[in-house]
Structure 1
């Protein structure tokens, strides 16, 4: 009974398709459907291989891993003029290539003067970097915490 239903549905789909398009198509047999499935699987495999090659060629597209953490100032910054602290960061393990790094201010403890803060990543390598924090003029920074994320 199932085979008869399948044959009926196949013939019905051919009739419906020929009514819409004006074309007369041969009914799909199990053999032709299996062949079409194998062809589609081969196409998917080719596209997956091509995608992998493209990712390997363009390192901006492929990110192997990301790592994040915090860097904290060790002492207050008093005085006048430009003052900076370099906060060394070591990654838990080396990246295969130099990572792209982003930093952001998490916490700031400042004096009563104007708030002036700079945060930047410096000397980025596969194993670590320096987060440089600073202030200028008469601003006083008692403490600073920086979030960072490195991806490659």
Structure 2
């Protein structure tokens, strides 16, 4: 803000100086009756004032953008792996509560994908995974099999992102 205050003050001083130069140039031009000098002096002064006027509004717009960026909430992400892998085959369904390292300000979005699947080679592979009960502090991962699937392990990699 101080920088913008200095910049706005500087623009005001330059505008006053340019105005004074334009008035002085006009007076000198009228005194010498040099029509051409009058037109070029006024055109230059007008051009400089127009540029400074535009700069004032550009600086104000940039100040608003900077303030918006400084005040925005930053996104954060956290990730991990959850599941089980044992021999002999563990019991299914398997439910695991996951707690975030630090809570989010709002409920985050959690995405996940299966990263490990280990089953008996001569049986059907059936598994269902889902993430439920997402809160600011954690979520619940659920793994389920059915119809005689012999499953030694299943894991998911997950990522939670939000404010």
TM-score (norm 2): 0.60
* Deviation of 1:77 (Å): 4.2
Shift of the 140–63 alpha-carbon distance from structure 1 to 2, 3 Å rule, reads farther
CA drift of 1:89 comes to: 1.0
How much does 1:51 deviate?
7.8
Mark the runs of 5 or more structure 2 residues left unpaired by the alignment. 1-42
CA distance in 2, matches of 1:63, 1:99: 13
2:77 aligned partner: 66
Assess if the C-alpha contact under 8 Å between 1:90 and 1:127 holds in 2. Answer: yes
Q: SS where residue 75 of structure 2 aligns?
A: coil
Q: Secondary structure at the match of 1:73?
A: strand
RMSD of Structure 2 on Structure 1 (CA): 2.5
Kindly state the Cα deviation for residue 103 of structure 1 after the two structures are TM-superposed: 1.4
Match of 2:147 among 133, 137, 152: 137
Q: Secondary structure at the match of 2:93?
A: strand
TM alignment of 1:3-152, pairs within 5 A:
26-27=43-44, 28-29=47-48, 31-46=49-64, 64-73=75-84, 75=86, 76-77=89-90, 83-111=92-120, 112-152=122-162
List runs of 5+ in structure 1 lacking aligned partners: 1-25, 56-61
Take 2:134 and 2:82, find their aligned partners in 1: how far apart are those partners? 15
Larger radius of gyration: 2
Asked if structure 2 preserves the Cα contact closer than 8 Å seen for 1:108 and 1:145, the reply is yes
Q: With structure 1 as the length reference, what TM-score do the two structures score?
A: 0.64
Relative to structure 1, is the Cα distance of residues 84 and 114 closer, same or farther in structure 2, using a 3 angstrom cutoff?
same
Which structure 1 residue ranges, 4+ long, deviate > 4 Å from structure 2? 47-53
- Which has the larger helix fraction? 2
Q: What corresponds to 1:18 in structure 2?
A: none
